[in-house]
C-alpha cells in the first residue's frame, strides 16, 4: 500500500466487497463555491450517490495524506478554509506530501488518487481544457493529460464554457480519449446543454457506459474515458446570457493579468456575479445530476 494513501473504512470495505464507489473532487468545495453552500452541496452530492446505490469517496489531501473518502467533519474543514487550501494539481503533490500539507484536489489529482485506491468512476462538474487564446499563452489544463493516461471514467457536464471547446475536443482526440455524450450527440457546455460541437459517440444507458469502459480496460488501452452529461433542461442557462458574462469575465481577467491556476476560480466567481448567482445554482444542479449518473454507472460496472 502506498504510504501516503489513506482510504476511509467505508470506502475500503466497499472496494474489497466489489461494491460500487464514486470518487468526488474537493476543489469544488474549497475553490468552487462560497461557504456554507460548498459544504451543503458536497454533502448533498454524497447523499445523491448513496440514494442511487453507490458509496461516495470525496478525495482530498489532508495532513500530507491522499484521502480517498472524507468524513463530514473533513468536508466542513475544507469548506471553511476555502481558498486558503492549495488547489492541488499533479505538479503540487510531491511538495504537499513532503510538507504534510493540505490540498484540494482538481480533476487531475482526484483521478490520480482514485486510480491508486482502485476507484474507477468519478463525478465532477466540468473538466478543464484548452483556454481561449491558448495559441499565445499555451494555457492547457492538466486534466486533459490525465485523461490520456489514468484509467478512470470521468462523468461531467462537459468542458467549462469559459474554455475553447473546439480546441479541447481536438486535444482529447489527439490523446485518444473517447468523448461520450450521455443521451446527446452534442458536447454540453457546462451551464448550457449546447455548444455546436459533436461528441465521438452517444450512449443512452449506464449499462452501456459501463460496458464500454470495461472493454477499454480489458484491452489494456491507456487512459480514461470522458462522459459528458448535459445539465437538466430546466436549469440550463440561456446561451446568450452566459456567453456575454463569460466574455466580460475574460476581458477583466486579461486586464488584471489573472492566469494559471487562479484563472478558472476568478472566471467562475465573476460569471456568478454577472449572472446574479444563477450560474451557482446551475453549477449545483449539474453536479447532482452527474453524481446520480456516476452512481448508476458504477453500479453497472460492479455487476460486470
User: Which pLDDT score is estimated for 67?
Assistant: 98
* Three-state secondary structure call for residue 202: strand
**How confident is the model over 121-147, as pLDDT tens digits?**
999 999 999 977 777 778 889 999 999
pLDDT band at 281 (very low <50, low <70, confident <90, very high): confident
Decide if pLDDT at 220 tops 90.
yes
pTM equals 0.92
| Residue in 67, 160, 261, 270 annotated catalytic | 160
Q: Is 25 a catalytic residue?
A: yes
Catalytic residue among 25, 46, 74, 146: 25
Q: What is the pLDDT of residue 260?
A: 65
DSSP-assigned letters across all residues of 143-185: HHHHHHHS--EEEESBB-TTB-HHHHHHHHHHTT--EEEET-S
Average of per-residue pLDDT values in the chain? 92
Please give the pLDDT value at position 100.
97
Dihedral (Cα; 200, 203, 206, 210), 10-degree rounding = -50
37-46, 190-199, 214-223, 250-259: segment of lowest average pLDDT? 250-259
What pLDDT is stored for residue 139 in this prediction? 82
- Tell me what pLDDT residue 222 has: 94
Which parts of the chain are beta strand (E)? 5-7, 21-24, 55-62, 65-68, 86-88, 103-105, 121-123, 153-156, 179-182, 201-203, 225-228
For 267-285, b/e burial (b = at least 16 CB within 10 A) is bbbbbbebbeebbbebbbb
- With a cut of 60, say whether residue 1 has pLDDT above it: no
CATH of domain 5-302: 3.40.1790.10
Would you say 20 and 298 are in contact if contact means Cβ atoms under 8 Å apart?
A: yes
Return d(Cα 88, Cα 152) in angstroms, integer: 18
Look at 274 and 215; give whichever has higher pLDDT. Answer: 215
pLDDT tens digit string along 236-268?
A: 988 888 778 878 887 887 788 777 667 767 777
Q: Is 270 one of the annotated active-site residues of the chain?
A: no
Among 16-30, 90-104, 123-137, 283-297, the least confident range: 123-137
Residue predicted with more confidence, 289 or 140 = 289
Amino acid at each position: 500500500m502506498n504510504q501516503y494513501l489513506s482510504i476511509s473504512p467505508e470506502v475500503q470495505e466497499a472496494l474489497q466487497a466489489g461494491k460500487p464507489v464514486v470518487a468526488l473532487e474537493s476543489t469544488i468545495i474549497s475553490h468552487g463555491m462560497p461557504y456554507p453552500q460548498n459544504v451543503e452541496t458536497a454533502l448533498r452530492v454524497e447523499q445523491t450517490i448513496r440514494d442511487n446505490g453507490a458509496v461516495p469517496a470525496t478525495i482530498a489531501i489532508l495532513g500530507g495524506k491522499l484521502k480517498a473518502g472524507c468524513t463530514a467533519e473533513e468536508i466542513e474543514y475544507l469548506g471553511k478554509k476555502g481558498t486558503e487550501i492549495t488547489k492541488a494539481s499533479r505538479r503540487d503533490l510531491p511538495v504537499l506530501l513532503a510538507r504534510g500539507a493540505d490540498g484540494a484536489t482538481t480533476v487531475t489529482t482526484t483521478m490520480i488518487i482514485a486510480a491508486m485506491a482502485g476507484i474507477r468512476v468519478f463525478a465532477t462538474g466540468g473538466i478543464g481544457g484548452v483556454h481561449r487564446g491558448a495559441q499565445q499563452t499555451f494555457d492547457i489544463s492538466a486534466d486533459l493529460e490525465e485523461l490520456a493516461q489514468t484509467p478512470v471514467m470521468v462523468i461531467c457536464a462537459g468542458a467549462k464554457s469559459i474554455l475553447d471547446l473546439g480546441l479541447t475536443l481536438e486535444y482529447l482526440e489527439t490523446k485518444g480519449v473517447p468523448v461520450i455524450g450521455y443521451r446527446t450527440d452534442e458536447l454540453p457546455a457546462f451551464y448550457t446543454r449546447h455548444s455546436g460541437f459533436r461528441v465521438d459517440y452517444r450512449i443512452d444507458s449506464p449499462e452501456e457506459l459501463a460496458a464500454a469502459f470495461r472493454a477499454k480496460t480489458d484491452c489494456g488501452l491507456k487512459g480514461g474515458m470522458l462522459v459528458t452529461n448535459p445539465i437538466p433542461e430546466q436549469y440550463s442557462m440561456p446561451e446568450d446570457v452566459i456567453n456575454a458574462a463569460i466574455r466580460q469575465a475574460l476581458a477583466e481577467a486579461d486586464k488584471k493579468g489573472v492566469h494559471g491556476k487562479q484563472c478558472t476560480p476568478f472566471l467562475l466567481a465573476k460569471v456568478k456575479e454577472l449572472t446574479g448567482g444563477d450560474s451557482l445554482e446551475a453549477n449545483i444542479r449539474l453536479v447532482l445530476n452527474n453524481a446520480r449518473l456516476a452512481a448508476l454507472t458504477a453500479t453497472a460496472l460492479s455487476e460486470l
